[in-house]
A and B are shown apart, each in its own frame.
Chain A
Amino acid sequence: MLILHCPYCGVDADETELSPGGEAHLTRHGPGSDDTDFESYLFMRENPKGPQFERWRHAMGCGKWFHAARHTVTMQVFGTYPAQTQRPPQEILDRISAAQPGWRWRDLGDEGQRA
C-alpha cells in the first residue's frame, strides 16, 4: 500500500484515494514532429527496476495532479512535488542518490550526469 503526500492539499493520501497517471516528465511531440519523436512520445516508456518518476492525481481529494518519485522494488517513496516543473527537485534527486548510488532514469541519474 502506497501513501503519497499530496503537495497541494498537504494530505498523506492513501493509494486508493489516488489515480495513477503513468510516467512523468514526458515531452509531447504533436503534429509536425518527426516520426521517431512521435513514436517515442506515444509508446516508449521506462520500466525500471529502481527509481521511477510517476504522475498521480489526488482524484478523491483535491483533484490535483502531482509527481512522485518512488522505488519500484522496495516501494520507498523519495518524495512528491508539484507538476508544474520540467525536472524533479534537487533534494529528491539527492535522496535517490543516497539510497541507490549510480542510479539512472532517462537523462537523470546519480551526480546529475547525463547518460
Chain B
Amino acid sequence: MSDLQSALQGARFDGYVSVFEAQPAGMIQLRADLAEDAVAHAVHRATGATIPQPLGLSTGDRGEALWMAPDELLLRVLTDAIPELLADVQDDLRDHHHLALDVSAMRTEIRVEGAAVREVLAKVTPVDMETLKPGTVRRTRLAQVAAAIWLSNDETAHVLCFRSVATYVFDVLSVSARKGGEVGAF
C-alpha cells in the first residue's frame, strides 16, 4: 500500500487555543448488530476495548472504539496494525452479518487544546458545549460540514471530519480560535 499522507501535513494554528492536526490513526469502520457477543469479542480483540455505550467512547490497550450510530462503530488503532486487525475482525465475524472496512484515509482528526476549547467549538457547532461531558462522542455539524466532536478532558477536544473538508474545518477552527475573539461565555 502507498504511504498514508496526512490531509493537512501537520498544520498548526495557535490562537487563544491551539488547533493542530493529530497524528494519522488507523481507522476501521465496523457495522454490525452491536448487541451480538461476537461483535464485542471482535472489538475487544482488535482494540482491547469494550462496546461503548450509545454516544460513548471506550478505550483499550491497543486502541479505542467510538460509537457512531446504533449499528456502527469506528475503531481507532495504530496505522501499522490495520491489515492484521482488520483480518482478525473479519475472521471473528465471518458467520455474522457485518461490514468491516479500513477507512484510515477517510477522516482526519484535528485537535483543539486550551482552556477555552468549549467556547471555540461552541461558536461553530449547535452542540451544547456547556453540558458536553468528556467521553461523549457527538456527531454533529461544524460550521457547514459534518464532524464528530469529543472531549478527552476539559482542555482537549478532538474533531473528526472527512478528509475532503479537512482544510475547511481547520480554517474554521483557526478563525474561531483567533486572539481577540474571546467571548468568555463559559
Do A and B assemble together? yes
> Footprint of B on A, CB under 8 Å?
8-11, 14, 16-17, 59-64
B151 to chain A, nearest CB (A): 16
* Contact between chains at A60 and B141 (CB < 8 Å): yes
A interface footprint on B39-72 (CB within 8 Å = 1, 0 otherwise): 0000000000000001100000000000011101
Docked pose: A60 CA to B55 CA in angstroms: 14
* Contact between chains at A11 and B69 (CB < 8 Å): no
| Contact A9-B69, Cβ < 8 Å, known A61-B139, A62-B139 | yes
Q: Using Cβ atoms and an 8 Å threshold, which residues of chain A touch B101?
A: none
The yes or no answer to B153 lying at the interface (CB within 8 A) is no
Residue from A8, A9, A10, A16 within 8 A of B141 (CB atoms): A16
Docked pose: A61 CA to B149 CA in angstroms: 11
| Contact A9-B140, Cβ < 8 Å, known A14-B126, A16-B126 | no
* Contact between chains at A11 and B126 (CB < 8 Å): no
B122 to chain A, nearest CB (A): 13
The yes or no answer to B138 lying at the interface (CB within 8 A) is yes
Docked pose: A63 CA to B148 CA in angstroms: 13
* 5 pairs, CB–CB < 8 Å, chain A vs chain B: A8-B69, A9-B70, A59-B146, A61-B138, A62-B70
Docked pose: A60 CA to B141 CA in angstroms: 6
B176 to chain A, nearest CB (A): 17
Q: Using Cβ atoms and an 8 Å threshold, which residues of chain B touch A17?
A: 126, 140-141
Residue from B70, B140, B146 within 8 A of A8 (CB atoms): B70
Docked pose: A64 CA to B72 CA in angstroms: 11
* Contact between chains at B69 and A64 (CB < 8 Å): yes
Q: Using Cβ atoms and an 8 Å threshold, which residues of chain A touch B126?
A: 14, 16-17
